[in-house]
Amino acid sequence: MDEFTHTILCVDDEQGILNSLKRLFRREGYHFLTATSGRQGLFVMEENDVDLVLSDQRMPEMSGSEFLAKVKEKYPDTMRIILTGYTDVDSIAEAINKGYVYKFLLKPWNDDELKQEVRRALEQHDLFDANRRLNEENLNQKEKLEKINRYLEQMVQERTMDLEIQNQVLQLSQVILNELPFPVVGVSSEGMIVIANGETKQLYKRYLRTGDQISDYFAGEVEEIILNVIENNEQDFLKELKVEGKTWRLTVLPLTGEFKGKGAIMLFYA
């Protein structure tokens, strides 16, 4: 008899992210599967009964929302969660409106929050599954069905409100970020750019892309400062940073609170 009660598939084109998620869920009692692309993820789902898919948004060939749209079409009972950065508002909003996504979470994620949201999603999956089986078996248990349906309705309302609030916060955060009159870059502890406002075009005459590595744009002393700030949880700065012939003052701030040790913010002043 299988000792696992639920099967989770994680899809991300970065093996390091998959390894981090695997370590996070190692002791949660799940059958944990991975894939490095949407195409591979669909192949894995053909061979396994998957209860929940946790997918990155920015992937080559097929985005997370495109992948989850296919999952919904072929496996409508599978719960779908997407991991996204601050700049993916439009694509995520479309995915929510079309029902491709049950929940979206921001990178870098909080470990406890992510585990809790996965448990909630699987609880809802089980409720839907129980409801479906009861209907298929045509059991005459009206009271139980009404209780389940009331609970489902309450959960759907709560999730809908939660998604609406998070969507508004996401959009407002991006607007505020882009209104700042100087370049701002957010970097994860893995060195990935997760936030880049419109003023970053002042640095290289083009926007810095989220999903790129900070080493694609800055190396040496800048990389070392970022790693030290994240590790020591103390801000640091450079008085002079040459970027394409222009001199900037750079301040690097550590993330705090629940994201302590997860990343840093780079502020550039001319």
Tell me the pLDDT tens digit for each residue of 223-255. Answer: 899 999 999 999 999 888 988 889 999 999 999
| Same fold across 6-176 and 180-269 | no
pLDDT exceeds cutoff 60 at 28: yes
User: What pLDDT digit, counting tens, does each position of 50-104 carry?
Assistant: 999 999 888 888 888 889 999 999 999 899 998 877 566 666 676 676 667 888 8
Strands 263-269 and 246-254: antiparallel
- Across 40-44, 54-58, 160-164, 195-199, least confident range: 160-164
pLDDT exceeds cutoff 60 at 158: yes
pLDDT attached to residue 127: 85
pLDDT attached to residue 1: 35
Where in the chain are the domains?
6-176, 180-269
Question: Is pLDDT larger for residue 85 or for residue 39?
Answer: 39
Alpha-helical runs (H) found in the chain: 15-24, 38-47, 64-74, 89-97, 111-137, 142-179, 201-204, 221-232
Taking the C-alpha atoms of residue 270 and residue 264, their distance in angstroms, rounded to an integer, is: 20
Taking the C-alpha atoms of residue 2 and residue 31, their distance in angstroms, rounded to an integer, is: 9
Highest mean predicted confidence (pLDDT) among 1-15, 48-62, 136-150: 48-62
pLDDT attached to residue 5: 83
Residues 39-47, mean pLDDT to the nearest whole number = 95
In CATH, 6-176 is 3.40.50.2300: yes
Taking the C-alpha atoms of residue 249 and residue 225, their distance in angstroms, rounded to an integer, is: 13
Q: How far is CA 122 from CA 7, 54, 114, in A?
A: 10, 12, 12
- Across 12-16, 198-202, 262-266, least confident range: 198-202
Determine the topology of domain 180-269 in CATH. Beta-Lactamase (3.30.450)
Residues 253-269, mean pLDDT to the nearest whole number = 90
